[in-house]
Every structure is written in structure tokens, then in C-alpha cells.
Amino acid sequence: MNLRIVGLNYRSASLELREHLTFSPKQTAEALAVWRNTIPDTEAVLLSTCNRTELYIASANTIVLPPTEQLLGFLLQQKENSTNGFALASQVFTLDGLEAVRHLFSVASGLDSMVLGEVQILAQVKAAYQMALDHETVGPLTHALFQMAFKAAKDIASETEIHRHRISIPSVAVADFAIRIFGRLDDKRILIFGAGEMGRETLCYLVEYGAKSITVLNRHRDRAEHLAAEFNGVVADWRNRFEMMLDADIIVSTVGASEPVVTLKDYRNIESRRLGRTLFVLDLAVPRNFEPAIGECPDVHLYSIDALQEICDKNREERNGEIPKAEKMISLAAKDFVQEMNHRQNGEMIQKLWQRWAQTKETELHRLFNKLPNLTEKEQAEIRHAFDRLIGKFLHPPLESLRNESKDGVPHKLLDALAKLFRLRDNN
């Protein structure tokens, strides 16, 4: 089974490199079109999210897969071939065979996410697969691989508690509170105060839950523009933050400041003009950006790090007990998949073996029925069924041996032995 992953994620690469090699849906489509035209004999799926960019390639036959350097070069070419001085070799990983299968299953199940157990990643993996399917870069192996990954993710979601206990402050705030308050985010206006990593992580969750209207405000406008561009948002002047709050539904604030950037007095000055509109504020700054008393105002839901940390700690403790069970499920599912794929490569030999016995069966049945011309159709059918069962029992041990030996790869020696024993080679 020829399967390889080359990629980078939050574990291996810096934020700067991840940003540089993040593919938008349009860029992903363009990259797959280039792949189809230049390397048509190799299957490919490109997965790109906030925290990872991974290229999955495969070949169901004996074609040698492109090396890491060539695959990385392909990705860079789609991003204007600029390394920007990044130390790529130390930040990019390559996985083959079983390890590649296990990795995808872990990704789809949320076990490899920055926030363990996040559920949005499965939708992103499905979208990446569908994009590749639409651009005809999916083949037999990647199709089987991703379908099995979806099943593994579903099994883990239903048989463990991994997805029921969020453990990051942004994930708890968005999934457990913002969604509970608003129900949907696609029609909500969102303000981001500050352009740091915590705000970016929170934006990832907001966007994954459907947020579209995003405005970034920061004292340094260039950083605000960079963050807004990543999420198809817009930028507003920091000095206009109070006016922007008039129509806001959600505010995420991560500004480093020694004093509140929004005081109770500031909010009182605009409160009446909000006309009772519900406001959800996630204050992730230390010291806090919003004066705590604002949370006591009608229609305001204000959460700080301290208010959410206790929930995260409790969830982490409960979730940790589920990790070994989920990892074991991933390991077993990956091994079963590899074994099945290896076993499929035995198909030609198995088919020849069945054909050889089927020919022998038909010859013997013809001879028998000629000697017993008075048999009824029912009696002939019973005899034919008995022959089929006998052949099945004779072939079961060698076929079972093939399947078992496929756990460690295609069993070439055993295939050669069967071919010699039963004279299955074309020149025999």
C-alpha cells in the first residue's frame, strides 16, 4: 500500500510558517487542478485548516510516490514559491503506511487537534475529501482511506466521552456559551479587540461555527489587517471601538493593557443606543479589558479567563480518562485498514485460485451428471452446492493465511508459494 503524508501542524511548525502555507478553499482547488494535470497517476487530498496543512498522496499500484522534497516544493509553488527564510526541514513531517493511516484517523477524530476532541475538524476533513473528489484527484486508496477515517471518527464520538468535554477557554466560550446564547453565529456581528494568538484561536472556532461578519480592531493596524485577511474580515480604527460596539453581538478582547479598554462608564454611554441587543463578551486579557461591572448590565454576558478556567480544568480531568480508549480504537482501526488494503492486493492471486478450483469443479460435475442422467434439477443443485461448500472449506485456510500475513504488508513470499503449489502463473 503506497500512502504518504507530508505536512506541518501546530506541533511541528511555527505560527508564521503555518500562516504562510495555509490554503484557502480557492487555493486548494487550484492546487488540486495543478496536481491532476502534472501527477495524474497519484491520488491526492489537501487538508488545510488554521492549525495544519497536510498533503495526502497515494497509489494503489507500485508507482513510487514523490519524495518529501518534491511534495513540499509543490506546496510552495502554489504559494508563490517563497520560503520566507523558514527552516522548513525541521518543521515539516512525513508519514508513510500505517503511521499515515493512524495520523489521519487521529486528525478526523479530533485526537490530534490543538484542542483535544474538537468536533469541527471532522467537517474540515470531509470538505477536503470532497474538494479532492470534485477535482478528480481521489482514487481507490484515498477513497477507502477517508471513508474509514470518517467511520473511525464516528465510532470514537459515539463510544467515548472525548467530544463531550472541551478543555480550551475559546472552545468552551464559543461552543458552550456563545452557541447556547445565540443558537447560530452566521448572522452575528463579531468584533475582535487585539490581534494576538488567543484572538486568532477564538476566531477559528467562531468561523467553524458559521461566523461571517468579522471586524478586527488593534492599536497597530498592520497586525489587524493581517488577522482580518486570514478570516475574510475587515479592519476598523481602534479609536472607533465604542461606535463599533453599537451593532456588535460578540466581542473577543485580548488587548495587552494595564487599564480597561472599556469601562463601565464607556459602556453606559452607548448602552441605550444598543436598544436591548444581547452582547456576548469574551475577555481573554490579563489584566481584564472590560470592567467587570459591565457584566451586571442587562443583556450583557461577560466572561473572563477566570470564569471559564474552572470549567476547562474539570473537563480536562474527565476527558483524560477517555484518551487511552480512543487511542486504542484508532490503533485497531488503522491496523485493520492496512491489513484490508494489503489483502486487496492479493486479489489477483485469489481470483486465479478460485478460477482454477471452479474449472476443476465444473469438469467433475459434468462427468458426474453424465454418469447419473436421472438426477432431478433439485438433486443437481444440492450436489453443486455441496461442491461449492467443499471448495470453500479447502480454500479457507490459504485465504485466511493470506489475510493474516497481510497485517505486516503484502505477503509476497506466500503469494509466490501459492502460485507454485497450484500452478497459477501465466506460463504454467
The grid cell for 374 is 436421472
Q: In terms of residue numbers, what domain contains 358? A: 341-421
Same domain for 159 and 173: no
Q: Give mean pLDDT, residues 357-385.
A: 90
143 phi, psi to nearest 5 deg: -60, -50
Number of domains in the chain: 3
Q: Which of 50, 204, 297, 312 is catalytic?
A: 50
Does residue 199 belong to any structural domain of this protein? yes
Same domain for 181 and 139: no
Same domain for 217 and 130: no
pLDDT digits (tens, 9 = 90+) for 227-244: 999 999 999 999 999 999
pLDDT at position 428 is: 46
Same domain for 201 and 177: yes
Does residue 223 belong to any structural domain of this protein? yes
**CATH number (domain holding residue 252):** 3.40.50.720
Does residue 327 belong to any structural domain of this protein? no
Same domain for 16 and 154: yes
pLDDT at position 223 is: 92
pTM (two decimals): 0.60
Does residue 331 belong to any structural domain of this protein? no
154-168, 182-196, 407-421: range with highest mean pLDDT: 182-196
Same domain for 15 and 151: yes
pLDDT digits (tens, 9 = 90+) for 132-149: 999 999 998 999 999 999
Helix (H) or strand (E) holding 303: strand 300-304
Residues 326-330: contacts with CB under 8 Å, at least 24 apart: 326/109, 326/111, 326/156, 326/160, 326/162, 327/111, 329/152, 329/155, 329/156, 329/159, 329/160, 330/102, 330/105, 330/106, 330/109, 330/111, 330/152, 330/156
Does residue 428 belong to any structural domain of this protein? no
Same domain for 116 and 21: yes
Does residue 328 belong to any structural domain of this protein? no
Same domain for 9 and 151: yes
**CATH number (domain holding residue 6):** 3.30.460.30
Does residue 371 carry a pLDDT above 60?
Answer: yes
Same domain for 206 and 153: no
Does residue 63 belong to any structural domain of this protein? yes
Does residue 68 carry a pLDDT above 70?
Answer: yes
pLDDT at position 410 is: 58
Answer yes or no: 50 catalytic.
yes
Percent of the chain clearing pLDDT 90 (strictly above)? 49
